Amino acid sequence: MNHDDNKELRITREELLEEGQHLLDSLDSCPDEQRADELRRKAGAEIPTLIHPIFPKIGVACLAGSSDTGKSSLLRQLAIAVAAGDSDWLGFELRPEHRSAIYISTEDEENATSYLLRQQTRHYDDGELSRLRFLFTAEDILTTLQRNLARVPADLVVIDCFADVYTGDLKDTNKIRSFLLPFQTLARENGCLILFLHHTGKRTEALIPHKNNLLAGQGFESKMRLVIELRADAMRPSDRHLCIVKGNYLPLQYKTESFILHFDGPTFTFTNTNERLPFELLVKNADTDDSKAKWEQAKELKDGGMTLQKIAEAMGYNSRSSVLNLFEKGKKMAWDKSPDETEEATE
């Protein structure tokens, strides 16, 4: 053995001390526990995401909305992008590890999915789609996923839809939580995101976007790390509002305004318009409209000398355009006029 080999076998005093401390620490630990200092050392610069910064890499999440808003098309488009190795989805950075996705369709059968998939994948070749797999059953989904993920890992599992795989009472909070727990464990064990398609309650489109609009309410959403509500625009039939109503680790500006998407009917695909709209401006029912309170807050800040950009930041909006939309609604609703002036204008 030469001199260089001896150098490689040497253990420094610091390494011996570190190993000794590790052994001492292990004597103080209890089974299944992790110490805070060890967890902190494991922390990365950010929470791992599948779609940065919105969708977590691991866990359970939900996209919900009323019928005929394009929920399934949007989720198929996401699964296609993940499996094809696209760099982004609707302008958000994609970070798949396996470039693989599973789509469980309980509503659209094989022939319908074949047609829809052909329309949505006009710009992809067969090789780019081979990592996207479909299942057309609601029977024993958990066992099937455990087996299939063990054989071929996936970044994303879409379950379309929750109401077909859960057959219990939607009002039973404890049963729903018990039902979702194995899916949460499955996601953790396989390092993937399980994304449920779900429905919002009747007439909730007249209300402000909110996690409580989901059928099953708290029993369902409390298990979700991310909840998104998709709703149609009241004036523009081809536009949709992607509203993040729950995001455990997202800054406020992601959860106060919708992302406005354009839906192309012939191809069943969405594009991001790069426009946003405050949730308050999506309310149809005047009795539940709190946009006037937001307008009053913005007006007070403006009267105090704040710029539109500073007002947006103070109110949790992403850009000054949302403040402009708020002031535009205030002008249309004559909120800046006294009751006497409003009455005179209508005579």
Strand, coil or helix: what is 141? Answer: helix
Burial class of 21 by CB neighbour count within 10 A (0 to 12, 13 to 18, 19+): exposed
Q: Which run of H or E residues covers position 42? A: helix 36-42
Q: Which tokens is 252 given?
A: 């406020």
For the chain, 347 residues long, the average pLDDT of each consecutive 10-residue run is: 54 75 68 80 84 97 95 98 97 97 95 96 95 93 96 98 91 92 97 97 88 86 95 94 95 94 97 95 67 77 82 78 81 70 45
Which of 73, 65, 61, 63 has its CA nearest to residue 231? 65
- The reported pTM is 0.78
Rounded Cα distance between 81 and 89, Å, is 7
Q: How far is CA 239 from CA 69, 235, 273, in A?
A: 9, 9, 9
Amino acid, res. 230: L
**Degrees to nearest 5, angle at CA 39 with 222 and 153:** 65
Q: Which tokens is 343 given?
A: 């009455």
Return the number of other C-beta atoms located less than 10 Å from residue 61's C-beta: 22
Rounded Cα distance between 87 and 94, Å, is 5
